[in-house]
């Protein structure tokens, strides 16, 4: 199942998660593949996909779907409404 939430879909694809993964399930504490190297690679992917740049202090806060969504919104990226559970 593809989602209309581009951020959620990016995270599902990036971490090879189940297609029905919910936003609240995408956190560094829950996703085993989300280690320090994956964090660096994810930031690069986000910066490319959404044409933004993150400062070091921002990168340190990108540890969940909600935190990433908030950071992108703060940079003016329009993501629409997240899917309802």
* Global pTM value: 0.89
Domains: count for the chain: 1
Where residue 64 falls (left for φ over 0; alpha for ψ -120 to 50; beta otherwise) is: beta
Residue 83 placed within a domain: no
Residue 43 placed within a domain: yes
- pLDDT at res. 78: 87
Which CATH number does the domain housing residue 15 bear? Answer: 1.10.1200.10
DSSP letter for each residue of 9-21: HHHHHHHT--TT-
Residue 55 placed within a domain: yes
- Range of the structural domain that residue 59 is part of: 6-74
- Indicate if the pLDDT at residue 85 is higher than 60: no
Residue 10 placed within a domain: yes
- pLDDT at res. 82: 64
Question: How many whole angstroms separate alpha carbon 59 and alpha carbon 56?
Answer: 5
């Amino acid at each position: 199942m593809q989602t209309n939430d581009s951020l959620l879909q990016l995270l599902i694809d990036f971490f090879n998660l189940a297609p029905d993964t919910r936003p609240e399930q995408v956190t560094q504490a829950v996703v085993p593949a989300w280690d320090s190297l994956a964090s660096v690679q994810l930031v690069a992917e986000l910066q490319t996909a959404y044409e933004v740049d993150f400062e070091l202090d921002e990168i340190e806060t990108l540890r969940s779907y909600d935190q990433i969504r908030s950071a992108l919104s703060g940079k003016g990226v329009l993501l629409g409404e997240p899917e309802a559970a």
